[in-house]
Amino acid sequence: MRGVHDILPAEAAKWERVEGTARRVFEAYGYEEIRLPVFERTELFARGIGEVTDIVQKEMYTFLDRAGEAVTLRPEATASLLRAYIEHGLHVHPKPVRLYTMGPMFRYERPQAGRYRQFHQLNVEALGDDHPALDAQVIGMLVEFFRALELAGRLQLQLNSLGDAKCRPVYRERLLEYLRAHAAALCAECRDRMERNPLRVLDCKTPACRPVLDAAPSVQEALCDDCRRHFADVREYLDAMAIPYVLNDRLVRGLDYYVRTTFELTTAELGAQNAVAGGGRYDGLIELLGGPPDPGIGFAIGIERVVLLLPPPAEGREGRKPFAFLIPLGAPALRALLPVATAARASAVTVELGYGDRKLRSELERANRLGAAWAVIVGETELARGEAVLRDMASGAQHTVALPELARELARRFEVERSRS
Ligand code: HAM
Do residues 303 and 356 touch, judged by C-beta distance below 8 A?
Answer: no
- Exposed / middle / buried, residue 289 (Cβ in 10 Å: 0-12, 13-18, 19+): middle
User: Tens digits of per-residue pLDDT, 26-38?
Assistant: 999 999 999 999 9
- Specify the 3-state DSSP secondary structure of 122: strand
Q: Candidates 121, 156, 262, 301: which one to mutate for ligand 1, based on the most atoms within 8 Å of Cβ?
A: 121
Q: Rounded to the nearest whole angstrom, what is the distance from the C-alpha of residue 76 to the centroid of ligand 1? A: 7
Instruction: Please give the distance, rounded to the nearest whole angstrom, from the Cα atom of residue 297 to the centre of ligand 1.
Output: 14
pLDDT at residue 317, as a whole number: 52
**Full set of structural domains in the chain with CATH:** 9-167+223-309 (3.30.930.10), 324-413 (3.40.50.800)
Q: Decide: 163 and 219 in contact? Cβ < 8 Å.
A: yes
pLDDT, position 161:
98
Within 6 A (CB) of ligand 1 lie 76, 78, 107, 109, 115-116, 119, 121, 123, 125, 254-255, 275-280, 298-300, 302, 304-305
From residue 117, how far is each of 4, 54, 102, 234, 394 by CA, in Å?
A: 6, 14, 16, 34, 48
Residue whose C-alpha is closest to residue 108's, from 78, 74, 65, 145: 74
CA distances from 319 to 176, 289, 371, 416 (A): 58, 47, 10, 21
Q: How far is the CA of 33 from the centre of ligand 1 (A)?
A: 18
CA of 281 to the centre of ligand 1 (A): 14
pLDDT tens digits, 229-273: 999 999 999 999 999 999 999 999 989 999 999 999 999 998 888
Cα 277 from Cα 271, distance rounded (Å): 15
Pocket test for ligand 1, best of 305, 306, 307, 309 (most atoms within 8 A of CB): 305
Q: What is the pLDDT of residue 320?
A: 79
Could you tell me the distance, in angstroms and rounded to a whole number, from the CA of residue 192 to the centre of ligand 1?
A: 24
Q: Which segments of the chain have a pLDDT < 70?
A: 314-319
Distance of CA 325 to the CA centre of its chain: 37
pLDDT score of 276? 98
User: Atom 15 in ligand 1: which residue has the minimum CA distance?
Assistant: 302
Q: What is the pLDDT of residue 332?
A: 98
SS3 state of residue 44: helix
